[in-house]
Chains A and B, each alone.
Chain A
Amino acid sequence: DAGVIQSPRHEVTEMGQEVTLRCKPISGHDYLFWYRQTMMRGLELLIYFNNNVPIDDSGMPEDRFSAKMPNASFSTLKIQPSEPRDSAVYFCASSSGIHEQFFGPGTRLTVL
């Protein structure tokens, strides 16, 4: 049974470029979460969806960040334009009716 799939695993880009991170949740899960992990701020929620609808996006840093979930099996997190302070590990997680969340392997983003 496949877990949460994220791509790419690593992304190196230059400041000002657009970055798109992708996530495929576990089949049947109706909640999808995007988290960011940095040394300074730890793990923090960016946004989460329920049945493809954004429920809480209060953690999205600013207008440069946007997230979509066009269907139950796919979500994207986009940063445009990217800045060096966006460098972090970005995790996608999914869950069903229970509260425990299952995480993907993460995307390590480096913005030069």
Chain B
Amino acid sequence: AQTVTQSQPEMSVQEAETVTLSCTYDTSESDYYLFWYKQPPSRQMILVIRQEAYKQQNATENRFSVNFQKAAKSFSLKISDSQLGDAAMYFCAFSSGSARQLTFGSGTQLTVLP
């Protein structure tokens, strides 16, 4: 069974600064996908970024980028130039190549300070 661990229940960052959210996972699979989802107070789950395990290059989406360390089973999210709208709960999630369901971490509540 796969597990996803987010060890930072809460984080805060000053507006315009950079913050990194941590995530580790455990799996015996070689084919898998990793995701970061954002859940603002509206509770809508919004996909932020995805990473395929077979890709060595780290994914980037505008101000969002990941540091994917496959050997260490680490998948951190970096948010650059933080904005007030980035304040939300962030979930790391795992999906194996064979099973489609997402396994989620416990989430990190990000506060952006003006």
Contact = CB atoms under 8 A, between A and B. Distances in A.
Do chains A and B stick together as partners?
yes
Nearest to A35: B102
A56 B95 contact: no
Contacts of A42: 104-107
B101 A45 contact: yes
A45 B102 contact: yes
Interface residues of B, number: 21
A95 interface: yes
Contacts of B50: 99-100
A102 B47 contact: yes
Contact of B43 (A56, A95, A101, A106): A106
Interface of B: 33, 35, 37, 42-47, 50, 91, 95, 99-107
Interface of A: 31, 33, 35, 42-45, 48, 50, 55-56, 89, 91, 93, 95, 99-103, 105-106, 108
